[in-house]
A and B are shown apart, each in its own frame.
Chain A
Amino acid sequence: MAQMNMIEAIRSAHDVMMDRDPSVVVLGEDVGYFGGVFRCTDGLQRKFGEHRVIDTPIAEGGIVAAAIGMGVNGLRPVAEIQFADYIYPGFDQIVSELARLRYRSCGEFFSPVTIRTPCGGGIRGGQTHSQSPEGIFTHISGIKTVMPSNPYDAKGLLIAAIESDDPVVFFEPKRIYNGPFDGDPEKPGVSWASHPKGEVPEGYYTVPLGSADIALPGDELTIITYGTLVHVAIAAARATGVDAEVIDVRTMAPLDVQTLADSVKKTGRCLIAHEATRFGGYGAELAATIQKECFYHLEAPIGRVAGWDTPYPHAFEWQYFPGLKRVSAGIRRVMEAE
């Protein structure tokens, strides 16, 4: 085992897979010589060469499309989109091509592309470097959508994504690249070194796609969340003194309904928390699923805490971010309701 932050864990996943499988290639803006703006691919080009770690033109549509073509020709491309906010020029290629190639050709053609992209706010990124667009992708049949909340899961899930014959969009909550974040920007930063999930095996292992994790066991309330907000939810549970069970969804699609439903049936109360905007968001799908699976166990209406339905403002990011205060208020609301 080694101590790794999320960046090192993601880099290690690339390294392990590129070593194991010569068909794995990496492409994206700044990923090669420089090693990525967040350093996730640092050193890979030196080790594996310019033909396997490719700096691309600034054209996300071209990056996704070229990766698709490479995948059709037997490679296993890992494409980095520098910020999730930049993914939209590649959106048509993801929706109309990558997601549906297997379907429309009845399995004759497919392209096992993994698209990695940093998401989320809390880094002074303003409205073009802070978005959490995962809900847009969970709506697309044919791709898998993943977001880890810690280094151990990041590496294991990324290896599983690269090995998957299905395309995967892999969101990396960049606020927690260097350490867990409990939602209070006034506190000094914490590193992954003191977190149990900062212990990461150096070699190969996977965390299976499609499985949620119980990040904090509890009996009184289930908080369903993912990414940065897993840490906020745990902090809010402690702050409110509520014995909450925090479920880390990890794979948004396909969803591990069983783990979520088992927990809510046990606790009888459910709060859903995500950083993305609320209206028409992924939380609505979670709420509908829980309502269907657990209706007769629910003792209170399902609560939701999310980003406001506005763009992510640069100067007011902490008023926008659903932090400790808002998640705590959400917990109390669900606990007090009858």
Chain B
Amino acid sequence: MIEKSRLQIPRPTARPGDEPDFSYLDLSPAGSVDKPPIGSRTRKLEFLSSGLVRVLDDNHEAVGPWNPNLEPEKLQIALRWMMLNRVFDERMWQIQRQGRISFYMQALGEEAISIAQGMALRAGDMCFPSYRNQGLFMYRGMKLVDMMCQCLSNTKDMCQGRQLPVMYHSKQGNVFSISGNLATQVPHAVGWAMASAIKGEDHIAATWLGDGSTAEADFHHALTFAAVYQAPVILNVVNNQWAISSFQGTAGGQRRPFAARGLGLGIPGIRVDGNDFLAIYAATLWAADHARRGHGPTLIEHVTYRGGAHSTSDDPTKYRPRDEWDSFPLGDPVERLKQHLIKVGYWSEDKHERLEKELREEVLVAWKEAQKFGTMTEGPWLDPATMFEDVYAEMPQHLESQRRRLLEILAED
């Protein structure tokens, strides 16, 4: 037999019409992965990148060494934020479908990540989010009405009509501006963290990107710089299995877990159940302590599933089984936290239903309020001449004259 080289073209286990098949996911039973002490050598942490840190078991109980033992009251707060994220997304999605905003991206199925990590980090820690981290902005104090105004590009839009919907920013909440390009924020987080250490502060940075965008050079620059200088940063890969139509294997996920991407550089990686609020919280706390105590970066891979379309411009029924999410072995993060709280006696179906209704009402009120500042069809309108502002700290002469020219043209109408 003649041996010769050939390409292996990565293919997902199921396409439209096929039975969903997640047999490729390596799962560990809840509670089965050890929790090593902070400051362990990377060699002793390698197992964390191949196992799966889980706290919530199939009976909805919190088990094992990673159980953060959070008070039920705190978990109720977490559940509320996760539900708000979902209800908000649902409403904004409908609003886009009605043609009242141009574009939207939901975090369906990934809500636990933003909320658990938002809660585990300190307020002074800086977040460099991707476009599915709206929960972080909410948790860090951004008002729903302000988020809606951004999506509307109206007179109260924090971006003054310059950015696509969902590209929020919050200096006050220490959440960086979302670019719209992928993975560019990851090395920014490392630079920010380096500066924190240079200044002798104990704030750390955290950043998020998808499985697909780990293929970008920026991710690898970030890993190198973080490892070389032992920067106090948490690099989160949200492996939701899909990057638009490219499954995680297209970014190399079939070879080794994304959590292992930093091992060659000595960066510990934790592979965590991304639909398990408690596991994410515990892993983040571990990584934050690790960074704050001078042991450098951690890479966390969150194994989750993108419950909805990539964006309102996407149709996933064209490339993956319609019901794939129903078969995802790690379930739904909201449902799992809810069942856990019911199990420990701090929640009920009834309370859940009432809260959901209350949150829907809250979102509706915000939407009514947001529209007062302008919609796509009705004023008040943003002044187009503002497009010349903030290009530079001070407007240079050529922009000033272009601004005047635009005003003349507008005055002719």
Contact = CB atoms under 8 A, between A and B. Distances in A.
Given A92-B181, A96-B179, A68 B188 contact: yes
Contacts, number: 143
A108 interface: yes
Nearest to B203: A73
B188 A61 contact: no
Given A70-B192, A109-B176, A254-B397, A61 B392 contact: no
Contact of B221 (A62, A70, A164): A62
Contact of B393 (A67, A73, A110): A110
Interface residues of A, number: 45
Contacts of B181: 92, 96-97
A142 interface: yes
Contacts of A92: 181, 184, 218
B393 A102 contact: yes
Interface residues of B, number: 47
Nearest to B172: A108
A72 B221 contact: no
Given A104-B179, A142-B391, A166-B392, A73 B169 contact: no
Contacts of B205: 69
Contacts of A105: 159, 169, 171, 177
Given A70-B191, A92-B184, A254-B396, A103 B199 contact: no
A102 B394 CA distance: 11
A66 B205 CA distance: 12
A72 B179 contact: no
B217 A69 contact: no
B390 A107 contact: yes
Given A102-B390, A103-B162, A165-B393, A73 B191 contact: yes
B242 to A, nearest CB: 24
A141 interface: yes
Given A96-B179, A106-B160, A106-B162, A75 B398 contact: no
A255 interface: yes
A207 interface: no
Interface stretch (A11-19, A49-57, A176-184, A330-338): A49-57
B228 interface: yes
A65 interface: yes
B198 A255 contact: no
Interface of B: 126, 128, 158-160, 162-163, 167, 169-171, 176-177, 179-181, 184, 187-199, 205, 217-218, 221-222, 224-225, 228-229, 389-393, 396-398
